[in-house]
Every structure is written in structure tokens, then in C-alpha cells.
Amino acid sequence: MTLQFGTDGVRGVANTDLSPELVVAFGRAVVRALGRDRAYLIGRDTRRSGTLIEAALSAGICSEGGMVEAVGVIPTPGLAFLSQTLDAPAVMISASHNPFPDNGLKLFAAGGRKIPDAAEREIEAGLLEILEQGPGDGVAVGGAVGVASRIPDGTAGYVEHLASSLGGRSLAGVRVVLDCGHGAAFEVAPAALRALGATVEVCNAEPDGSNINTDCGSTYPGGLQRAVVELGFDAGLAFDGDADRVVGVDQNGRLVDGDHILAVCALDLRSRGLLRHETVVTTVMANLGFRRAMTEHAVTVVETPVGDRSVLAAMETHDAVLGGEQSGHVIFSELATTGDGTLTGIQLLDVLVRTGSPLSELAAVMTVFPQVLRNVRVADRDGLEGARGFWAAVQAAETRLGDDARILVRPSGTEPVVRIMVEATDAADAAATAERLERSLLAELG
């Protein structure tokens, strides 16, 4: 058994897929690929298994001669910020929005960017080599053994960075509810918003190790929607487990997803002459309504595969300052090296303050096309390409729906799941089409 990178690091069930033995070996492989005699930062979200995996990872890094500086609980973008400011590689222990039993490992190169594909392949190869060797082969000994230490109050600089992102402007007068999902943002996000002068109500900020993402946060925003309306607040923000994504809620309780946030921020930056090349980057999952809104305002849309790494790579290629995903991963490249839920929420609320417009009015810049997403758990995800009957059904559906519709099929990079997305002008038609395609897929892949 070994570990392989998906679209966003390595994930699996903690203590089985991510066994301590495998994580120790993984830590060793990371040091072999990225270098000995240097410090490695380690952060984690609030999962119960986080300390177990941190101990194993730290042991692996130190056994190969690396030094460890543990940060404790911190959002993924906060660890990326420290990686950038300290110029040190970093490993985030988190399974993001996945259920509590899962955990994962996300790697950043020194400077705060996700490691490139070539480095991932080198780590995978090194891990296999280590697993095939004896337990003591190639390890550091004596004075070459690494030492682990902790960074006290490692989030303080990150909170200051978030608060300074508005260049001296404030959020005074804004009333916002934060759903922290019992995850890594439970202290950082309220502190940053309050430092900017916002009136903040916090919910789901009492992590107990097992309640992360449970019926709350960015994947379950229903409670936040109700809270915003009941309190009469201006907006709500919901984060996932490691707070690298966010979704919003307007004053009427309507969801404001990543597409809306991108649209609002793109047009705001364009109005201020700050949207470089008048270009925004998004993924194949972006709603057709987003694309049409950008076309109407003469903003060029660059499309990428799913994943914030793909978005960031395209942003660099096209020299773009803004990119993101419908899920709420949004990257402001002049402010961060990766998607940052708290930072994105701050930028969105800043538009609210400067324009004086309610969030519902800002989000109305795009009309959402009905979009149905089915996450189909299959026995053989790798057999998708050869599922001829299923692909014939997809082609027939595309022909019937015509130009004002889209069908997107892709395997998950982290789960035994195939995602089927159907977008059409009629919600019932989109749902029925998705259901037929799901049945066809299960008939072939089980």
C-alpha cells in the first residue's frame, strides 16, 4: 500500500489509508525530494486525527535530517502565507471539506505555492523506494537527525496580513455571520473581520475533533442562510474545514457561490482599472450564467480543469490577478499564493462597503442557469473512459439539449466518485437528464 497525489494533495481515511507508518515514510520522501538541512512547517485543521498524523509526519521529516516547525491549527492559506514569509516548504494536514474520519496532506514549496507535478511524482517514487527498503536504510543518524519545535502564536502574522489586505480601508458598519464549520478558521476569521471593524456573529466555531464540516460550513450553508435572515444581517460567510474556500449568503438568505463572488470581484476590479488584461480564470464547472455575464461586460474568461492548482497555473500564464472555482476557491494573486476563504470574504465585503449596494444586488450581475451535479459512487472509477454505453448516452443528451446547455463528466481526484454535471435552461430537464446519465453510468461501472 502507498500514497498517491490527487487533485489537491493526498487524502484517505486517517489511521488506515493514512497509517502512521505510511505517513512517516511520506515525510521521509518529502525531505528527499525537497531537501535536507532545512525547516519544514506543519499545520493542521481541527480533526481528531490531526495530532496523530502530525507526529508521524514530524518523525519522518526528522529521520531524514529535516527540521520541523509545527504551527498547530491554522487555515491552509495561513500556512501558505507562513511558507511565503519564512521561505520554507510546508505540509498542511487536512482533508478540506471531506468527512471527519478522512484526513490528508497538502504540500507547499518554499514561497507558498503548491508543489509542481514533477515534485509530486518524485515524492511518490521516493515513497515506494522507502517502503521497499528496510526501516533504517538511508536515515539520518547522530547529529544529522532533525529536531522538531513549535511556532508560538503562528496565526498572528496571518491575521495581520488579512486585516491589511484592504490597504487601510475598513468594514465598519458591515454586519456579517461567520460559519466556521468547526474547522481551521474558527479563531482566525472572526479575529480578522473584527480587526477590520465589522460586526461579527460566529456560529459553528467550537471544534471537538469530530464535528468538522458536520451539517455546517461551505458544503452545508442552510443554517447560515437562516441565521443571516433571522438576525437581519448584511451577509454571511461559510468556510470549509481548512478555510481555503468560502461561500456567501446575501441579506435575503440566498446563496452566493464562487461564481457569484468571482463575477462581483471581477467587475469591481475592472471598474477600478485593476483587472489586469480584463481577464478572469475559472474552471469547467463555472456556470454558463457566469460566462455570459463576463461576455456582456467585455471580460475575457480563461477556462481550466477543476482544481485551484490549474487555476493558479493559468493565472500565471495569462498574467491574471483573479481566478477561482464555483466551490469558493478564489485566488487574488496579488494578495495570496493560493485560495483563501477569509481573504476572499473580506474582498467581497469590501465591495459591499465601497459601492453601498446590498449583496443581493451585486450578485444579480449574473443569472444562474439550473445546474444539477450528481456525485456517483462507483466500483471502478478508472473504467470511466471505456464506458461506451454511458458516453453514447451523454452524446445523445447533448444533442437533445442543444447549445443552451452543457454536460460535464469527470472522475473525482480524491474519492471513488464520478461527477456528472448537467446545465440547462430548464431545471426539471437538467435533473431528469442527470438521473438518466447516473443510471447509465451505474449500469456499466457498478
pLDDT > 70? residue 63: yes
- The set of cell numbers assigned to 76 is 491552509
Regarding predicted confidence, which is higher, 402 or 33?
33
The whole domain housing 95 covers 10-155
CA distances from 45 to 84, 115, 154 (A): 19, 20, 13
pLDDT of residue 5: 83
Q: Same structural domain for residues 359 and 386? A: no
**pLDDT, the chain, mean:** 94
Do 255 and 381 lie in one domain? The reply is no
Return the percentage of the chain with pLDDT > 70, whole number.
Answer: 100
Q: Residue 281 — φ and ψ, nearest 5°?
A: -110, 135
Residue 2 lies in a domain: no
Give the pLDDT of residue 136: 73
pLDDT range class, residue 402, cuts 50, 70, 90: confident
Tell me if 301 is assigned to some domain: yes
Report, in this order, helix, strand and coil percent for the chain, each rounded to 5.
40, 20, 40
Kindly state the average pLDDT of the residues 359-372.
Answer: 94
Average pLDDT over residues 60-82: 98
| Whether residue 155 has pLDDT greater than 80 | yes
Residue 336 falls within a domain, yes or no?
yes
Where would I find the H helices in 11-116? 20-34, 50-63, 76-86
End-of-domain residue from the set 155, 181, 203: 155
What digits encode the pLDDT tens for the residues 181-196? 999 999 999 999 999 9
Instruction: Please identify which of the residues 94, 96, 310, 327 carries the catalytic annotation.
Output: 96
User: Are residues 272 and 315 both part of a single domain?
Assistant: yes
Instruction: Give yes or no for residue 414 having a pLDDT over 70.
Output: no
Residue 176 sits in the same domain as residue 281: yes
Domain CATH for 423: 3.30.310.50
- In-domain check, residue 145: yes
Last residue of a domain, one of 363, 389, 411: 363
Which residues, including other chains, have CB under 8 Å from residue 209's CB and lie 6 or more apart? Answer: 46, 47, 48, 100
Question: pLDDT (tens digit, 9 = 90+) per residue, 381-395?
Answer: 778 888 889 999 999
Task: Please give the helix or strand (H or E) that residue 420 lies within, else none.
Answer: strand 417-423
Cell of 31: 525531505
Our count of domains for the chain comes to 3
CB under 8 Å to 296, separation ≥6 — which residues?
A: none
Q: Does residue 121 surpass a pLDDT of 70?
A: yes
- 36 class by beta-carbon count within 10 Å (0-12 exposed, 13-18 middle, 19+ buried): middle
- pLDDT single digits (tens) 40-57: 999 999 999 999 999 999
pLDDT at residue 403 in the model: 78
The confidence band for 306, taking pLDDT boundaries of 50, 70 and 90, is confident
Q: Are residues 299 and 386 in the same domain?
A: no
Contact (CB, 8 A) for 49 and 103: yes
Which pLDDT value is given to residue 391? 93
Residue 405 belongs to some domain of the structure: yes
d(CA 244, CA 79) in angstroms, rounded, equals 11
User: Hey, is 440 helix, strand or coil?
Assistant: helix
- Please give the DSSP secondary-structure letter assigned to residue 369: P
pLDDT at 309 (0 to 100)? 85
Are residue 179 and residue 301 in the same domain, yes or no? yes
Q: Is residue 96 annotated as a catalytic residue, yes or no?
A: yes
What are 223-260's pLDDT values in tens digits? 999 999 999 999 999 999 999 999 999 999 999 999 99
Question: Are 258 and 347 found together in one domain?
Answer: yes
Same domain as 243, residue 338: yes
| Per-residue pLDDT at 3 | 84
User: Residue 243 and residue 3: Cα distance in Å, rounded?
Assistant: 24
Helix (H) or strand (E) holding 104: strand 102-108
Q: What CATH number has the domain bearing residue 144?
A: 3.40.120.10
